[in-house]
Structure 1
Amino acid sequence: MSPHEPAPEPYPHRACDRCRRKKARCDSVDYSCTACRAAGQACTFDIPPGKRGPRGKPRRSNIADVQNDTDQRHSIAVEASLSPPSFTSPAAQATELSPYSHSPATLSSQHPHYPTPVERCGLLADAVAQASPSSTSLEAVVRECIDLFFRYIVPFSTSVHEASFRHSLDQFFDPSPPDAPLAQSTFTLITAVCAKVCFFMPPDLFPVGNSLAETFLQASRSCLASYSDADLENPCADSITIRYLHSNCLHTCARPSVSWHVFGEAVRLVQRMRLHDEDSYALLPQIEADMRRNAFWHVYIGDKSLAVLRSMPIIIYDYSFEEGITTAYPSSEQNDWTLGSNAGIRLWQYATELLLRMRLTRKDQTPDPDLPHSPFTPSDDATLGQLYVRFAICIDNLPPHLLPGSTNQPKFAAQIADLHVTYYCLKMHLTLKLEEIGYFSWIGESKDMLLLRKTEIARDMVRLLQTIPFWSLQLNGEPCAEKIRLVGASLLAIIHEPSPLATRARHDFKVLLDILSRLDSKASDSLRRELP
């Protein structure tokens, strides 16, 4: 400031800037002290004054403000999780998830506030109202989902006890007493079941499903995340079922990697709870024991399905445990679905034992440079043949209500589709694996006979798909489409062969491709591109 500029306001209690920097006594009068006059300048007072004394404690009102701000930001995040996800660039995600982007209040909060189930129910009701084209209430939508789940979604419904679940549903919407707390696990399971129904039910049977599927899935996963650690520490049957339902929904909405990781949590819970051991059920209440048993076998089948359809490692099998798998099959007295569920377990169990035996046989084979494939020992030859025959006849004695074409029991249509589509898929997969190790060459089967064997399996599947209701395939979702695709891919390989069977293969391939297209399956696009 020059002497000719307007003078600032007086600072009688402050030293000028020059004296403060030199830590000298200031005798400033009329904006001029001895040191500044000697320098030919006027005093300036631009340096902010310092605060004296010890730091004061933060006021309680400030702490409350910070906590309220944290709660508000968390509520916004929860609301966002209930809405359909939008695309965010990887760079933006990295910025949002970076620990350096959080406020000090967030970093210092050791106990973040999560919405209560009642608050989540309100958020979900708003999200459903926005996503649904109709004005149906949340309770009406949820109750319709539950009815459809227990009527059509098998075998998953066998790991949810219907009477207990419906009681929890009544408590959820009409708590008694009115102020009774609602469990987070109840909200998570209810919304997981609703998500499963929305993703898997055909639009003809549940028109609003497509618009609500993501909403229910995000609500369920968000609630599980709020108590996941405690749930892993003290798991129950619902802990496994919830994660398996989430995994199925994620697979259907084209997120296979996330689906596999979520399914992995269910597998680890099964291992930790020792559900492979029949003794682990001895001291449990009957309902919990039944639900754990059913959940174990669902995870067992899912583990094998991932190995066949997505080339993942087999995790749950006899040799994984010192005492093997001693868990009994679910009791046929539980419900009407149990007979079909147990037939499905045997189907996967026999197929897995044959696959594992083939791996051991290949490992023990001694290469022979004069032969296209390594020779088999008489023991290997006999064992592989016996295991294949056991698998091939394992569904020969199904009851009439589980056979294709059974019109008397339409409620079993989805179970019939799953059981028989799985059978033909596994039969083709086992044939391909036996071919890889040279089994058919060893027993003297010609190449054309092997191609005929494959086309007969495919034709049997085509006949099945033309017999059963199309909606029963839709109810089984993307896993069913992947099984059909595996057979279609085998036919595609035959089409490229210089064989008279190529014409038959092409005809049946087009039928399978049309069915996959009607299922709106991602598998149909890749097959269509490969068709010559």
Structure 2
Amino acid sequence: MTSPGKRQACMECRRRKVKVSNADPGFREARVRPVWLTRNDQCDGLPTCKNCYAAKASCRYPTPQKRGPKPVKLRDHSPREPLESTFPATASSVESGDAELLVARGSSYLASDSPLSNSVTSRTLLELLGSQAQTATRVHLDLLAGLLIATPPHTAASIADHCISLYTQYIFGVVPICHEGRLRDTANRFFTLPSGADGLADHHARIWRCFAANTEREQVEILRSLTLLTAVCAEVAYVAPDSLLPDKHLIAPLFLHASRQTLRVYEDYDIEHPNSSSLSIRMLLSSAIQQATGKQEVAFHILNEAGLMAMQMRLYDESSLAGQEPIEENILRNAFWQLYVCDKTAFVMKTRPVTIHEPLFECELTLKDHSQHSVPLFVHGQEQSDAGLEYQLLERFHVIRRLWALAARVIQAMVSNSRTAPDPNTKAETSPDSIAQVSEA
């Protein structure tokens, strides 16, 4: 008897290209007939088909393949390897204790804060943290090596400190978007080497520890601080004259490359969760790229990213800054007004599409020039006049902003009048409100 399923020819019949018979199988009388009276052009699909029976050959059928998922009892229930064994190996120069400490910190974070309990997801997040730290460490080590080759008489710490001083003296009045104290803390963390770190392995291990963090958010903040510092140094190196920075042409490309490479490490997170550093970094990089290569489209693209972030954060609304830390609030305020000036300039000069434009706001432009909880962004120098100097610089910055806004409003009114009233004699009568608005500005 055959199985109730679909019949198939035996292996011998299939080799001879003989098909299975559609007739009702059974132990027919054909079995006892002479061989020459039996039709051998079809296989009846019986356990011993008539062809093999007549030829006195062994009748074999292929084993049917099993389909579908494996039964539960056949699945592998062996215990998974611990997370430490699946964590990506660090560079050979990094001490094993530091890598184990980073893994332990990441494991405790995932166990306490993460809503995902799946071990595969845990390993993925740990690998992400490790890969980010590895990439950033490699980029920073390349920067330090390049600075050492480019400026042998100077240390990386002295170069970074000098760039920060040049920023506060010559650039802050035009681009007041950085806190001097935080820049110097970052320079001390990443560029100052202790006297005991004589060996290359000790040096690499210390750099690795600079990027160690408990959570992804903390690690991104560390990367942001370094990216901002290198962007400031790149901007200063491209803008400052040779008399103030003799080696500017050697160190500027190094800082620019390091800043862009570090930003790429956490760029997706930065776009999803922007802060003041996100805006400042892109404004500085846009200016540095334009100074370095003259690639305006690349520079404008990066600057437009900052504008889109500012619109996403609704910085045109004063209430959007409520609850922010005082330093963060001041930098966000200055960064928005800087982007506002840039877009007004672009609108006047017709150089690129603008992103920060009043008709695109969801509410009125209510952001104030100064905060009620203003804190100084200068910390270098103990003179009492520093606060007054910073206030004067910010006042001049807002004067420039109002001038560009006035120019943009004049040109916008002229374009609007030319479209609505082709006759020049009727222009003044058709838009008195626009002219009065221009006069008030």
Scaled to the shorter chain, the TM-score interval is 0.5 to 0.7
* AA in 1 matched with 2:360: S
Bigger relative contact order, structure 1 or 2, given CA contacts below 8 A and separation 6+?
2
Q: Compute the displacement of 1:358 (Å).
A: 2.1
* Change in CA separation of 1:118 and 1:306 when aligned onto 2, cut-off 3 Å: same
1:273 to 285, 307, 313: 313
Q: Compute the displacement of 1:235 (Å).
A: 1.0
- Aligned runs of 1:92-491 on 2, under 5 Å? 113-114=131-132, 115=134, 117-132=136-151, 134-155=152-173, 157-173=175-191, 179=209, 181=211, 183-253=222-292, 254-331=294-371, 334=376, 335=390, 336-365=392-421, 367=422, 375-380=426-431, 382-383=432-433, 385-386=435-436, 389-390=439-440
* AA in 2 matched with 1:123: D
Distance 1:153 1:147 in 2: 10
Distance 2:353 2:289 in 1: 20
Q: Compute the displacement of 1:344 (Å).
A: 1.1
Name the SS of the counterpart of 1:280 in structure 2: helix
Tell me if the contact between 1:71 and 1:113 (Cα under 8 Å) persists in the aligned partners: no
* Change in CA separation of 1:281 and 1:231 when aligned onto 2, cut-off 3 Å: same
* AA in 2 matched with 1:148: L
Distance 1:205 1:235 in 2: 34
Q: Compute the displacement of 1:240 (Å).
A: 0.3
Q: Compute the displacement of 1:125 (Å).
A: 1.1
Compute the RMSD of aligned alpha carbons. 3.5
Distance 2:375 2:396 in 1: 12
Residue-by-residue CA offset, 1:189-245 (whole Å, 9 max, x unaligned): 110000000000011111111221111101100000010001111111010000000
* AA in 2 matched with 1:360: S
* AA in 2 matched with 1:167: D
Tell me if the contact between 1:240 and 1:266 (Cα under 8 Å) persists in the aligned partners: yes
* Change in CA separation of 1:180 and 1:325 when aligned onto 2, cut-off 3 Å: same
Q: How high is the sequence identity, in percent, across the aligned residues?
A: 28
Q: How many residues align?
A: 288
Residue-by-residue CA offset, 1:284-324 (whole Å, 9 max, x unaligned): 11111111000001111111222333532333232221312
Residue-by-residue CA offset, 1:98-142 (whole Å, 9 max, x unaligned): xxxxxxxxxxxx96934354443321111123334x431211111
Tell me if the contact between 1:231 and 1:239 (Cα under 8 Å) persists in the aligned partners: yes
Distance 1:374 1:124 in 2: 64
* Change in CA separation of 1:242 and 1:385 when aligned onto 2, cut-off 3 Å: same
Structure 1: runs of 5 or more not aligned:
1-21, 23-59, 73-109, 392-532
* Change in CA separation of 1:120 and 1:314 when aligned onto 2, cut-off 3 Å: closer
- Normalised to the residue count of structure 2, the TM-score between the two structures is 0.58
Distance 1:375 1:163 in 2: 57
- Normalised to the residue count of structure 1, the TM-score between the two structures is 0.49
- Structure label with greater radius of gyration: 2
* Change in CA separation of 1:264 and 1:223 when aligned onto 2, cut-off 3 Å: same
Name the SS of the counterpart of 2:242 in structure 1: coil
- Aligned runs of 1:502-513 on 2, under 5 Å? none
